[in-house]
């Protein structure tokens, strides 16, 4: 059989489904091919989307037209806005999701896209001619032809699962076969591969848990939404439970340490420091009296619980033994054992900012294959890779998000420029412009960018236009409306703010601590201000309250962009720039930055090196063409 | 080709029995070889070797010189570098330079050697400035301060401040990025306390700036007083040679005389002025006006009187209210009885009896003046880094302002992630200081201050 498409996406996880959907939304004939169509958008680790920074990414994916936001709304069984006690720039929406409902919602959303086809097969080989991808072959002997291919193989490339006491087993996820031929094929293209590890905790049967010994953690009611374009029906809500790992557990882990796959020496790849196994926690922080453990419901129609905080690769019987030391879990039954997994990734300096490989035209990589962790990080890359594959087919310029435009921009630039030495996760601290990159303004930042490149559906375009108009109206109202002392009095009193004696601009009152936009907006009485939705008002409130700070951040971003304007040719002979340090020459030669600003972000390139680089470029230029 | 060229300059100042000519760049060794007429074996690296230098055109010998070769990168500039120790004076070093130029080298611009050292990563910006200071160090204390910076005293201190800012950012990152962690939460109050402590350390370093800058400039000590009160004699005694004309006639000194002296290792510009009096003599009156002008620049005033009576504050001191004044009761050897000692009056820092004949009181003055002008440095000892340049002070002040703004924002309800943008500014300001983001015009300003050859 021979199938011909414009874009083919290999893999159906968070990166793959987003990539395929993004290409299809752009009207490109797209095929998603994956070994198991029953597991589209599978949550292989914890059943949750979002968090600090990651929640913003989920909203960015949504703003770009993606699937993650609506699938989260349709499957979430708890919603919390993390960091609500801090400023809105670091608020992070987080949802517990029903592990069974999420993939259903993803599948439903994919089925809405007319130009997307799905196909169940394992891709074993890529066809590359003259440095350009032409197609792929599958294990079942099907030949696929495409102008661009996005590979989103997750942890499947030569994946090996380790549980203590057993030899590692080849697998991409528990119970699923690894992808070995594809890894070998990519290696055969001359791509550099390296190895990471990550882990997952055991799952337990909720019927064997005594909740009365635990702390109940409720979600927010009604809770917010991730999706801006789609109004999904939200399921019923469930609590999470908090318990603590104490000294008994520590002792068990410590005495069995050499039986851990992680510490017994059977795993060599590097793991994430911010998501340590319980073995790691106990070795690195021996003095901590206890460690927090969250029991998260796996779904509405299952009693299974995910034991967040106890990722491990100890033998099954040790896992059960230590689980039973937790308060409320004395008689617990384990439903799945935790494990560690090792997998190949492609050190991401081999990519352009479009996620296209520098070495193979038309071949894109997205998700965990690029050394990241997290569903959101994967989804964000998926949208960008899929959009760029589509634009390439159309012969249009690439779609690149900058560091001051999106967390996704920060993520990809970090990958491409700085590389990774542990599985990469986003934090707000990675973003130098985090006041601008908020969860509340994702649609405002990214919606128009996606729309202008033809990456949204018609329906999404019209929702966006209507919402932006509404917010603009509210912004104008605050800037242009003056409130009299009498009208403002009640609002100011309830905010414990000084009363005013002169008519004052609504904007100036809004900038006072504790004064809320909604209260001011409704203070003039019904019909005096245009009707507004609560979330639009909230977004405007944040924008206006921190306007001064945000403006300074924009200015800083603008200055950096000026430096970004110095372009570096891809064929510069860095090794010959003897005035640069040896380390800098090697790093520049490896990364081949596109701009001076990018060069400045490469670790090991010092300011003196940058100065010299500028001088070298100047010399080259003054030496004239033909040198 | 886009090659770096080879530069040459006389590295030592004029005068003296020997001069060092320095040459750096890719052709330095080739030119050296031609200069030695190619006949002799090439001198081994880093070994002083005697060679006859010849004029390339006339083949005549210019000088016999000690030649040292420093192959790249182990040289001051990081390039191939040659140092030629030839005979001093005006002519020979100039001939050597000309010969090198004839062989393809280019005359170096001020500071160009150090600029190359900086660009090749041999020095950071603060160290480069310190080299300039070292070259023109006017005193041992200045020399020590400059030395300690070449050895990264200030860079290290700034590095510590930067590390503290990074530490604050790390605390914030923990606070903001890991809200669900069970580790003892970092409190905003704790971060604010750390920020205040950091600001304190920055204030202490900035406080060294006024004195540090004086280390480079020299503190102005003005000798003032009525005519014929022994100002010029004291000036000569402190300078150590006959510079001012001393006569018994009041009003001998018409113009202000200035000399650089070291007192206990600290640099002073000692200024002798005309005696303060109403005078019909137009020239002398001009001298008095100059004296008034110099007084306003003074970092310390030596008010000379020639009797042992309790001093009275002269009216002309009204215009230098904040400058410390030392009353010098000169000609102590002429007084029959020891003057009554009492606590100095409020308007003066101290009263010292001196005699240029017996030397009485001169040592007291030599210690007293530094302790008045360089009080902080005298107390802190010589190990502490000081800021010696405006640029350094400005950058640190900008960083301090940013840290203070951060602190104030934290205490006034501004959310921590918003406040943290001030921290980024502080970090950038410190990076400006050590040259991490050195822009071209900063470099130009820094390097233009260098004398040729360094």
Name the least confident of A72-81, A93-102, B115-124.
Answer: B115-124
pLDDT at A33 over 70: yes
The pair of three-digit structure tokens given for residue A486, joined into one six-digit string: 């009498």
**Averaged pLDDT for residues B381-390:** 72
* Minimal CA separation from B188 to chain A, in Å: 10
More confident residue, A173 or B382: A173
**Residue of higher predicted confidence among B241 and A177:** A177
Residue B433: pLDDT above 90?
Answer: no
CB within 8 Å: B173 and A615: no
pLDDT in tens, A426-440: 888 788 788 889 999
Average pLDDT of the segment spanning B287-299:
83
More confident residue, A268 or A221: A221
Mean pLDDT of A525-550: 77
Q: Closest partner residue to B177 among A52, A294, A615, by Cβ?
A: A52
Integer Cα distance of B272 and B223 in angstroms: 5
Task: Give A479 to chain B, closest Cα distance, Å.
Answer: 22
B430 to chain A, closest Cα gap in Å: 13
Best A85, A88, A89, A552 residue to mutate vs chain B (most B CBs within 10 Å) = A89
Helices and strands (H and E) in chain A: how many:
20, 24
Average pLDDT value for residue range A121-149: 95
Mean pLDDT of chain A: 89
Cβ of residue A559 closer than 8 Å to a chain B Cβ: no
Residue A87 near chain B (CB below 8 Å): yes
Of A428, A513, A627, the CB nearest to B2: A627
Residue B136 sits at φ, ψ, to 5 deg, of: -105, 20
Q: Quick one: what percent of chain A has pLDDT higher than 70?
A: 94
- Give the CATH number of domain B7-108: 3.30.1360.120
A320 confidence band (pLDDT: 50, 70, 90) = very high
Residue A296, pLDDT > 90, answer: yes
Residue B120 pLDDT more than 80?
no
C-alpha span between B192 and B406 (Å, rounded): 8
Please name each of the domains of chain A with its CATH number. 203-340 (2.40.30.260), 469-553 (1.10.10.1800), 565-623 (1.10.150.570)
Mean pLDDT of A110-132: 95
What per-residue confidence (pLDDT) applies to A264?
66
Higher pLDDT pick, A155 / A607? A155
A78's tokens? 């708890």
pLDDT exceeds cutoff 70 at B341: no
Spell A300-314 as b/e; 16+ CB within 10 A means b. eeeebbbbbbbbbbb
Q: Which residue has the higher pLDDT, A307 or B334?
A: A307
Q: Which of A447-456, B103-112, B267-276, B339-348 has the lowest mean pLDDT?
A: B339-348
In a mutational test of the A interface, the residue from B176, B187, B188 whose CB has the highest number of chain A CBs within 10 Å is B176
Closest Cβ–Cβ partner in A294, A435, A608 for B418: A435
* Interface touch B177/A429, C-beta < 8 Å: yes
Chain B residues lying within 8 Å of A607, measured CB to CB = 431, 435-438
How confident is the model at residue A266, as a pLDDT?
A: 62
Set of chain B residues whose Cβ sits within 8 Å of the Cβ of A551: none
Domain chopping of chain B, boundaries: 7-108, 140-208+386-448, 219-380
Other Cβ atoms less than 10 A from the Cβ of A85: the count is 8
More confident residue, A292 or A379: A379
- Answer yes or no: are the C-beta atoms of A136 and A313 closer than 8 Å: no
Are residues A427 and B431, on separate chains, in Cβ contact within 8 Å?
no
Euclidean distance between CA atoms B122 and B70, whole angstroms: 14
- Rounded to a whole number of angstroms, the distance from the CA of B100 to the nearest CA of chain A is 23
Q: Is A170 left (phi over 0), alpha (psi -120 to 50) or beta?
A: beta
Indicate the residue of A608, A616, A627 with minimum beta-carbon distance to B118.
A608
The CATH number of the domain covering residues in B140-208+386-448 = 1.20.120.430
Give dist(CA A146, CA A360) in Å, integer: 14
Interface test with A, best of B121, B428, B447 (most A CBs within 10 A): B121
Asked whether the predicted pLDDT for residue B440 surpasses 80, the reply is no
Residue B454: per-residue pLDDT: 31
Q: What is the pLDDT averaged over residues B297-307?
A: 89
Could B173 and A428 be called an inter-chain contact, meaning their C-beta atoms sit closer than 8 Å? yes
- The pLDDT score that the predictor gives to residue A420 is 86
Smallest CA–CA distance from B432 into chain A, residue: A607
Q: In whole angstroms, give the CA distance from residue A205 to residue A88.
A: 37
Least confident of A186-195, A209-218, A272-281, A328-337: A272-281
Residue B12: the pLDDT is: 77
d(CA A22, CA A60): 13
- pLDDT tier, A626 (very low <50, low <70, confident <90, very high otherwise): very low
CA distance A72 to A76: 5
For the residues B347-366, what does the mean pLDDT come to?
88
Instruction: Check whether A622 has a pLDDT greater than 70.
Output: no
The C-alpha angle with vertex B53 and arms to B50 and B55, in degrees rounded to 5, equals 175
- pLDDT tier at A534, thresholds 50, 70, 90: confident
Please answer yes or no on whether B182 and A292 come within 8 Å at the CB atom. yes
HSE of B341, CA atoms in CB hemisphere, 13 A: 5
pLDDT at A272 over 70: yes
Q: What pLDDT digit, counting tens, does each position of B126-167 carry?
A: 777 777 776 666 666 667 766 666 555 777 788 788 778 877
With contact defined as beta carbons under 8 Å apart, do A219 and A78 qualify? yes
Tens digit of each residue's pLDDT (9 = 90 or more) over A340-393: 988 999 999 999 999 999 999 999 999 999 999 999 999 999 999 999 999 999
- At B150 the pLDDT is 56
- The answer to whether residue B112 scores a pLDDT higher than 60 is yes
Q: Residue A624: pLDDT above 60?
A: no
Confidence band for A336, pLDDT divided at 50, 70 and 90 = very high
Mean of the per-residue pLDDT values of chain B: 79
**Within a 13 Å sphere around the CA of B198, how many CA atoms are in the beta-carbon half?**
32
Residue range B411-418: mean pLDDT, rounded: 81
CATH topology of domain B219-380: Rossmann fold (3.40.50)
Compute the average pLDDT of residues A71-92: 92
Phi-psi region of A56 (alpha: psi -120 to 50; beta: other; left: phi over 0): alpha
Report which of residues A293 and A613 the model is more confident about.
A293
Residue A203's SS3 state is strand
Is the pLDDT score of B8 beyond 80?
A: yes
A546 in contact with B at a CB cutoff of 8 Å?
A: yes
pLDDT at residue A625 tops 50: no
Q: Are A476 and A575 spatial neighbours (Cβ–Cβ below 8 Å)?
A: no
Q: Do B120 and A611 touch (CB under 8 A)?
A: no
Decide: helix, strand or coil at residue B212: helix
Greater pLDDT, A81 or B378: A81
Band of pLDDT at residue B439, cut at 50, 70 and 90: very low
- Of A156, A151, A154, the C-alpha closest to A178 is A156
What per-residue confidence (pLDDT) applies to B164? 82
Range 581-600 of A in CB contact (< 8 A) with B: 581
pLDDT above 90 for A19 = yes
| The predicted structure's pLDDT at residue B418 | 82
């Amino acid at each position: 059989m021979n199938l011909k498409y414009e874009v083919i996406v290999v893999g159906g996880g968070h990166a793959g489904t987003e990539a395929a959907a993004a290409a299809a939304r752009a009207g490109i004939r797209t095929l998603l091919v994956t070994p198991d169509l029953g597991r589209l958008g599978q949550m292989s680790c914890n059943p949750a989307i979002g968090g600090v920074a990651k929640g913003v990414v989920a909203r960015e994916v949504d703003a770009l037209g993606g699937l993650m936001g609506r699938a989260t709304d349709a499957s979430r069984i708890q919603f919390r806005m993390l960091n609500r006690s801090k400023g809105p720039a670091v608020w992070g929406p987080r949802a517990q999701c029903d592990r069974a409902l999420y993939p259903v919602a993803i599948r439903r959303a994919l089925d809405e896209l007319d130009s997307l086809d799905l196909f169940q097969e394992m891709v074993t080989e890529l066809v590359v001619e003259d440095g350009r991808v032409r197609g792929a072959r599958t294990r079942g002997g099907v030949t696929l032809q495409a102008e661009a291919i996005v590979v989103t193989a997750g942890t499947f490339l030569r994946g090996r699962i380790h549980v203590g006491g057993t030899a590692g087993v080849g697998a991409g996820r528990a119970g699923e076969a690894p992808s070995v031929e594809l890894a070998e094929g990519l290696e055969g293209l001359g791509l550099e591969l390296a190895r990471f590890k990550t882990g997952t905790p055991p799952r337990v049967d909720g019927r064997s848990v005594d909740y009365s010994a635990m702390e109940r953690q409720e979600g927010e009611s009604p809770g917010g939404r991730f999706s801006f374009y789609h109004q999904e029906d939200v399921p019923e809500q469930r609590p999470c439970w908090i318990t603590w790992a104490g000294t008994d557990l520590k002792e068990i882990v410590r005495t069995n340490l050499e039986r851990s796959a992680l510490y017994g020496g059977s795993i060599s790849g590097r793991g994430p420091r911010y998501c340590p196994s319980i073995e790691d926690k106990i070795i690195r922080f021996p003095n901590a009296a206890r460690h927090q453990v969250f029991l998260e419901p796996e779904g509405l129609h299952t009693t299974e619980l995910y034991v967040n905080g106890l990722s491990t690769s100890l033998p099954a019987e040790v896992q059960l033994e230590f689980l039973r030391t937790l308060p409320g879990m004395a008689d617990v039954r384990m439903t799945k054992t935790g494990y560690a997994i090792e997998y190949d990734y492609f050190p991401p300096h081999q990519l352009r900012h479009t996620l296209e490989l520098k070495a193979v035209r038309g071949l894109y990589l997205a998700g965990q294959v690029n050394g990241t962790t997290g569903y959101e990080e994967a989804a964000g890359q998926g949208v960008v890779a899929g959009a760029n594959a589509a634009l390439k087919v159309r012969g249009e310029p690439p779609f690149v998000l900058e560091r001051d435009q999106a967390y996704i921009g920060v993520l990809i630039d970090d990958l491409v420029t700085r590389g990774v030495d542990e599985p990469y996760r986003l934090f707000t601290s990675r973003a130098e412009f985090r006041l601008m990159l908020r969860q509340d303004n994702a649609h405002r930042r990214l919606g128009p960018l996606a729309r202008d490149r033809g990456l949204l559906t018609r329906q999404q375009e019209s929702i966006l236009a209507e919402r932006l108009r509404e917010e603009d109206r509210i912004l104008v109202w605050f800037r242009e409306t003056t409130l009299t002392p009498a009208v403002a009095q009640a609002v100011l009193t309830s905010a414990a703010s000084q009363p005013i004696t002169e008519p004052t601009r609504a904007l100036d009152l809004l900038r006072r601590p504790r004064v809320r936009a909604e209260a001011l907006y409704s203070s003039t009485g019904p019909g005096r201000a245009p009707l507004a939705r609560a979330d639009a008002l909230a977004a405007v409130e944040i924008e206006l309250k921190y306007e001064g700070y945000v403006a300074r951040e924009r200015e800083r971003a603008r200055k950096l962009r000026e430096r970004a304007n110095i372009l570096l040719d891809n064929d510069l002979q860095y090794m010959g720039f003897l005035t640069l340090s040896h380390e800098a020459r090697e790093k520049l030669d490896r990364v081949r930055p596109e701009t001076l600003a990018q060069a400045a972000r490469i670790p090991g390139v010092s300011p003196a090196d940058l100065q010299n680089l500028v001088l070298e470029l100047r010399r080259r230029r003054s030496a004239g063409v033909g040198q | 080709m886009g090659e770096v060229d080879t530069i040459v300059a006389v590295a030592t100042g004029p005068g003296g029995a020997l001069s060092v000519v320095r040459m750096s760049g890719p052709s330095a060794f080739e030119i050296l070889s031609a200069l030695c007429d190619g006949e002799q074996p090439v001198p081994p690296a880093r070994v002083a070797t005697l060679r006859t230098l010849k004029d390339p055109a006339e083949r005549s010998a210019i000088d016999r010189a000690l030649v040292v070769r420093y192959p790249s990168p182990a040289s001051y500039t990081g390039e191939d570098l040659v140092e030629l120790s030839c005979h001093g004076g005006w002519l020979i070093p100039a001939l050597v330079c000309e010969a090198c130029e004839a062989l393809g080298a280019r005359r170096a611009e001020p500071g160009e050697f150090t600029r190359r050292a900086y660009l090749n990563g041999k020095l950071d910006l603060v160290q480069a400035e310190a080299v300039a200071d070292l070259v023109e160090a006017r005193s041992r204390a200045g020399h020590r301060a400059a030395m300690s910076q070449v050895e990264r005293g200030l860079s290290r201190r700034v590095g510590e401040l930067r590390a503290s800012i990074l530490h604050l950012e790390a605390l914030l990152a923990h606070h903001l990025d890991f809200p669900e962690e069970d580790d003892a939460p970092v409190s905003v109050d704790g971060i604010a306390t750390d920020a205040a402590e950091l600001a304190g350390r920055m204030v202490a370093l900035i406080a060294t700036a006024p004195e540090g800058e004086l280390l480079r400039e020299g503190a102005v000590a003005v000798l003032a007083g009525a005519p014929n009160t022994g100002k010029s004699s004291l000036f000569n005694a402190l300078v150590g040679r006959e510079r001012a004309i001393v006569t018994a006639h009041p009003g001998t000194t018409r113009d202000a005389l200035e000399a650089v002296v070291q007192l206990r290792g600290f640099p002073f510009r000692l200024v002798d002025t005309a005696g303060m009096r109403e005078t019909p003599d137009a020239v002398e009156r001009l001298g008095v006006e100059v004296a008034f002008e110099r007084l306003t620049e003074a970092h310390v005033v030596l008010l000379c009187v020639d009797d042992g009576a309790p001093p009275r504050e002269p009216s002309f001191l009204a215009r230098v209210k904040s400058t410390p004044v030392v009353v010098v009761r000169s000609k102590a050897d002429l007084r029959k009885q020891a003057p009554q000692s009492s606590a100095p009056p409020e308007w003066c820092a101290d009263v010292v009896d001196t005699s240029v004949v017996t030397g009485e009181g001169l040592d007291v003055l030599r210690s007293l003046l530094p302790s008045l002008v360089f009080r902080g440095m005298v107390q802190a000892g010589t190990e502490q880094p000081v800021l010696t340049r405006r640029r350094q002070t400005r950058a640190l002040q900008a960083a301090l302002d940013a840290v203070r703004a951060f602190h104030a924002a934290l205490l006034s309800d501004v959310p921590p992630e918003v406040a943290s943008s001030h921290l980024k500014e502080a970090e950038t300001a410190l990076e400006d200081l050590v040259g991490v983001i050195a822009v071209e015009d900063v470099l130009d300003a820094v390097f233009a201050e260098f004398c040729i050859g360094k």
